[in-house]
Structure 1
Amino acid sequence: MSNAAIVVVALVALLHAWFLVLEMFLWTKPIGMRTFKLTPEFAERSRTLAANQGLYNGFLAAGLVYGLCMHSREIVLLFLAFVIIAGAYGALTVNKRIFFIQALPAIAAMMLVSWG
């Protein structure tokens, strides 16, 4: 993999690690509620669902980091595909912004990994 591909994949992994933190630990805090435009009541009621979602984002980040550490283009591409699918699904079912925040960076990373 090229250095550019490694950097962009690492950024996608960091983004998903941040999603984990937001959804698992900051969901009911001011930054979490501002980020997701939540009322305190809804944030509290949906806390466990958000934590579950955050855990999945952590798995995506872990898979990308593992693939980078193992120098495995196949593992990295597999986890980037998972990120793209999750981002596309989120864009279709929750908010179109999710495509640009989650899927588009992973698409860029996938292109760089595939070409390099």
Structure 2
Amino acid sequence: MPMLATVLVLLVAALHLGFLVLEMFLWTRPLGRRIFRLTAERAEMSKVLAANQGLYNGFLAAGLAWAGIDARQDVALFFLGCVVVAGIYGAATTNWRIFVAQALPALAAIAAICLVR
């Protein structure tokens, strides 16, 4: 995998690791509530669901890290595709900013991989 693609794949992995931390550990804290625009009550009521979401983001981060470290284009494309689908779904059902935060970086990494194929 070319260096730019590897860097972008690892960047997307780092983003999803950050999402894991936000959703699993900071959801009910002031930073998490501010980022996700939640009241304390709503954050408390949804913290178990958010932790589950965070766990899935951790799986995406792990798969992308594996792909980036081992230069596995096939694995990278699979996990990046999952991120794009999740970003599109999140944008359609929750907030368009999810597309920007998740899908756009993944699409950039996919483009970097595909341009050298």
Query: Could you state the TM-score of these two structures normalised by the residue count of structure 2?
Result: 0.97
Shift of 1:67: 1.3
8 Å Cα contact 2:6-2:71 kept in structure 1: no
Equivalent residue number for residue 35 of structure 1: 35
Task: Give, in whole Å, the separation in 2 of the partners of 1:110 and 1:57.
Answer: 18
Q: Which runs of 5+ in 1 are unaligned?
A: none
8 Å Cα contact 2:24-2:54 kept in structure 1: yes
Runs of 4+ aligned structure 1 residues displaced above 6 Å come to none
Equivalent residue number for residue 76 of structure 1: 76
CA displacement, residues 39-96 of structure 1 (integer Å, 9 cap, x when unaligned): 0000001000000000000110100011122221000000000000000000000001
8 Å Cα contact 2:83-2:106 kept in structure 1: yes
Paired AA for residue 73 in structure 1: Q
Task: Give, in whole Å, the separation in 2 of the partners of 1:6 and 1:56.
Answer: 22
Task: Give, in whole Å, the separation in 1 of the partners of 2:68 and 2:98.
Answer: 24
How many residues align? The count is 116
Q: Percent identity?
A: 57
Q: Which runs of 5+ in 2 are unaligned?
A: none
Does residue 96 (structure 1) correspond to residue 96 (structure 2)? The answer is yes
Secondary structure at 1:46 match in 2: helix
Task: Give, in whole Å, the separation in 2 of the partners of 1:36 and 1:69.
Answer: 31
Root-mean-square deviation over aligned CA pairs: 0.7
Equivalent residue number for residue 46 of structure 2: 46
Task: Give, in whole Å, the separation in 1 of the partners of 2:36 and 2:88.
Answer: 18
Equivalent residue number for residue 23 of structure 1: 23
Query: Could you state the TM-score of these two structures normalised by the residue count of structure 1?
Result: 0.97
Task: Give, in whole Å, the separation in 2 of the partners of 1:6 and 1:94.
Answer: 30
Equivalent residue number for residue 13 of structure 2: 13
